[in-house]
A and B are shown apart, each in its own frame.
Chain A
Amino acid sequence: MKRTMKIMTAAFLVLCFVATTVVFVAGQDAPIRIGIFVPGRLGDSPPYDGMTDAVEKFALRNDTVELVRIFEAGFDQALWPEMLYTFAASGNYDVIYTSNEALGPLCVEVIKQVPDVKFIVNDSYVVGNDRLFTTFFNKWQQSYLFGYLMGLISVSDMENVTIDRKIGLVYGQHYVMMDDLIIPGIEAGAQAVDPAFSLVTAMLGNWYDAAKAEQLANSMADQGVDVFGAIAGSGNAGVLSSAVNKGLYVLWYDSDGFDKAPGTVVCSFITDSEAATTRNLENLVAGTLAWGEPEVLGAEEGYIYVPIRDARYVSSLPEDIRIQFEERYHEIVSGELEIVVPQEVLDKINAAAQ
C-alpha cells in the first residue's frame, strides 16, 4: 500500500513538473497577440496609417509579436466604447494598439471591465494606469513651426501672396488637440513673424467632404488668405484643389504631402507616429515599456520633423524663407527655444480618464 502511494506521489510530481515545463515553454514561445483598433478609417489619416504600418512591419520582422487583427471602428464616436469593449473582451488579444486623444480615457473604462488586456495609445495622455501606456506628440511645437512658415511665406515676394497678413486653416472637427494646441500654436507661430497675423479657421464638420472644403478654402482666399493648412482627412483634397486653382500655397500637416500637388504643397510637417509606434513595440517586447507613465515626444527627440534636405522642399521655397525658417527649426530641435505642451492641456486629457 505504502509502495503504491509512493509511486503515485512520484508520478504526480513528475506530471506536475512536466506540465509546468510545458506551460513555461509554451508561454515563452507564445507571441504577444496584438489587435489594432482604428477609431476611424485607414487611408488619408496619418496618425492611424502610421501606427498600422508600424505594427504590421514590426509583426513581420519579429516572431515575438503577432498582429491578429486590424479593426476600423468608423467615425461614429458614440459607438467606440461598445466596439472597444467587444474588441478587447474577445479574448483574442494581449495588447490593443490604438490612437486618438479620446481613446486613452475609453481604454481606462474598458480596463475596469476586461481583465488581462493591455493598451497602448498614441496621441493620448493618461497617467497612472498600469495596463495603459500613452504617447503624446508635441502638437504645440509642430503647429508653431507650421504657423511660422505660413507667416514667412505670406510676407514674402512669392507669387500671388497678399498684403493681408491672413493665413487659413480648414479642419475636420473640434477636439482638444485642435482647440488647445494646433489652432493657438499656428497663430503663435505666424505672429512670431508679424504680430499682425490672424488665422482664419473654418470647420468642415466631418473628415470627408472635399467639395465643402473647397468652398470654404475659396471663401478664405476671397478674404485674402494666401497660405492654407488642411487637417480634414479626405477633405484636404478640396483645400488643395482650391489652392491649385488660385495659385496659392498649402502646408501639409502630419505626413509627407509634397507629391499631392507639387508647387502648391511647399512643405510638410511630419509626426513620425510610425517610429514612435515601433519604439513602443520594441519596449513592449523587451519588457521595458513604462506602463502608466505617459511620454511626450517632439522635435527634440526627432518624432516631429521637417524634411529640410528634401529636394521638393528646397525647390518649392525661396532661399531667404528657408534660411529664416531653418534657423527657428534648429533652435527648437536643439532645445534652445523650448516650446512645451502646456500642462493644463495634458491635465485636461488625463482628467477625462480618472
Chain B
Amino acid sequence: MEATQIQLRNKLATLLGILTAIVASLMIAVALIFLLSEDPGRTLYFYFVGPFTSKFVFFNMLESSIPIIFSGLGIAVAFRSGVTNLGGEGQIFAGAMIAVLIGTWFPHLPGIVGTAFLLTGGLVVGALIGSVSGLLRMKWNVSDLLTTYLISSGLVYIVNYLILGPFRDPAKIRIQSISIPDSYMLSRIASPSYLHVGIFGAIIAALCIHFLMKYTHTGYHLRVTGSNRQFARYGGINIRRFYVLPLAISGGLIGLGGAVQIVGRYQACFTDLTAGLGWAGIGVALIARRNPLGVLPAALFYVYLQAGARVAMMNSDVTYEIAAIITSVIFYLITAEVTFAFFRRRLLK
C-alpha cells in the first residue's frame, strides 16, 4: 500500500470511528432516556431538538463553546506535543482573574487597547503557569501530569479567595469580583443572547494553531517530539526545549479563554466561574483526536449536549443526575479508542 493511500485510509478510519461512536452513544442515550424518563418522547425532543427551538438558547450555546474551543486547543497542542496538561481548570480561572485585575487597575485605556491588554494578560498568565510545569519537567524530570494538576488545584483556591476576599464587589448581591469597565467589553452579536465577537477569535485561534502545527518549523518539531521523543533527539531536535514550549502555548491558549470569558460575557469574576471548562477541554481535544481544526466541531458537539441537557431539565422530567449520566455515557463512548482501532484494523489490512 502506498504512503498516501495509508494516510487516506487512516483518516477514513478516524472519521468512521468518530461517526460510529457518535451514533452508538446517541443510541445508548436514547435507550437511557426511555429507561429513566416517564415521558421519553418529550425528553428526547427537548434533549436533542431543544437547543434549536429558541434563538436565545441557540446563540447562548454557541457562546458557551468559545472558552471550550480555547481550552480544547490548549489541550490538543499539549497532547500532540507529547506533554500532558491537566491544569486547565486553574489556567483558565487565573486567565479570567488576571483580566479582571488588569481591567480594574487600568480603567481608562481606549476601549480596544484595554480589551487587547486584558486578553494579553490572560494569555501571558496562562503561558507562565504552563511554563512552570514545563520547567520542572525539563530541570528535574518532575511529571508534568502531576505538576499541571497540582498547580491548577492550588490556583483555583487562590482565585476564589481573591474573589471572596480582597477583590469582592461589596455592592453586588451575587458573590463576584469588581467589574471591568464597559468600554473593554466585546460587542454582542445577537442580543439578548450573550453571543459575542469572541466566537470569531476562537475560530481564528483554531486556524492559527492548525497553521502553526502543520506548516511551521516549530510545529513540525512539536509534532515529531510528540510522536517519538527519541526519534526527535536523534533528528537533532533539542527535546528539552519541547517540554516548556508546548505547555506554555497550551497554558496560554487556556488562559486566553478565561480572559475572553470576562471581556465577552461576565465583566467580573465569580467563584468557580470557569469550573469544568478545563476538563471539558480534555474531552473536546480527545473527540477532536488532538486535531486543532477538529476542536471546533468537537466543542460545538460538547456544548450541544450540555445545552440539550439543560433544556431537557427545564422542560421534561430529566433531573441533573440523569442528564449528567447521559452526557457522560456519550463522552465515554466517543473518546474510547475501540471504534477507531476497529476501523484502522479493517482499512489498513
Contacts and interface: CB of A to CB of B under 8 A. Distances in A.
B60 interface: yes
Interface stretch (B84-92, B228-236, B313-321, B326-334): B313-321
A87 B314 contact: yes
Contact of B315 (A69, A85, A105, A176): A69
The 9 tightest CB contacts between A and B, nearest first, are A78-B270, A352-B173, A102-B173, A102-B174, A77-B174, A78-B273, A71-B314, A77-B270, A72-B320
Contacts of B174: 77, 80, 102
A46 to B, nearest CB: 19
B271 A77 contact: yes
Contacts of B194: 82
B52 to A, nearest CB: 14
12 contacts: A69-B315, A72-B320, A74-B320, A75-B272, A76-B275, A77-B174, A77-B175, A86-B314, A89-B54, A89-B56, A101-B173, A205-B160
Contact of A76 (B192, B270, B313): B270
B168 interface: yes
Interface in A73-109: 74-78, 80, 82-83, 85-87, 89-90, 92, 101-102, 104-105
A205 B164 contact: yes
Nearest to A83: B310
A349 B173 contact: yes
Given A78-B273, A102-B174, A174 B164 contact: yes
Interface in B148-200: 157, 160-161, 164, 168, 171-176, 192, 194
Contact of A203 (B164, B270, B315): B164
Contacts of B62: none
Contact of B168 (A83, A105, A174): A174
A174 B175 contact: yes
Contacts of A92: 315
Contacts of A203: 164
Contacts, number: 70
B57 interface: yes
Contacts of B157: 205
Interface string B49-74: 00000101100100000000000000
A211 to B, nearest CB: 14
B272 A76 contact: yes
B322 to A, nearest CB: 12
Interface in A104-157: 104-105, 113
A334 interface: no
Given A89-B54, A90-B315, A173 B164 contact: yes
A12 interface: no
Interface in A163-178: 173-176
B45 interface: no
Q: Which range contains the number of B residues in contact with the other chain? A: 20 to 34
Contact of A205 (B173, B176, B271, B310): B271
Contacts of A85: 56, 192
A71 B273 contact: no
A77 B176 contact: yes
A173 B173 contact: no
A175 B157 CA distance: 18
Contacts of B273: 76, 78
B266 interface: yes
A80 B273 CA distance: 12
A174 B60 CA distance: 29
Contact of A41 (B56, B57, B320): B320
Contacts of B56: 85-86, 89
B262 to A, nearest CB: 11
A41 B174 CA distance: 17
Interface in B264-296: 266, 270-273, 275
B97 to A, nearest CB: 13
Contacts of A105: 173
Contacts of A206: 271-272
Contacts of A87: 314
Nearest to B320: A72
Given A92-B315, A105-B173, A173-B271, A82 B60 contact: yes
A85 B55 CA distance: 13
A113 B310 CA distance: 20
A130 B97 CA distance: 38
Nearest to B164: A174
Interface in A291-328: none
A176 B172 CA distance: 9
Interface in A45-89: 69, 71-72, 74-78, 80, 82-83, 85-87, 89
Given A76-B270, A83-B310, 15 more contacts: A71-B314, A77-B271, A78-B176, A78-B270, A86-B311, A89-B56, A92-B315, A102-B173, A105-B173, A175-B175, A205-B157, A205-B164, A349-B173, A352-B171, A352-B172
B38 to A, nearest CB: 13
B107 to A, nearest CB: 22
Nearest to B60: A82
Contact of B192 (A113, A175, A349): A113
Contacts of B168: 174
Interface string B1-25: 0000000000000000000000000
Contacts of A176: 173
Q: Which of A90, A173, A352 has the most CB of B within 10 A?
A: A90
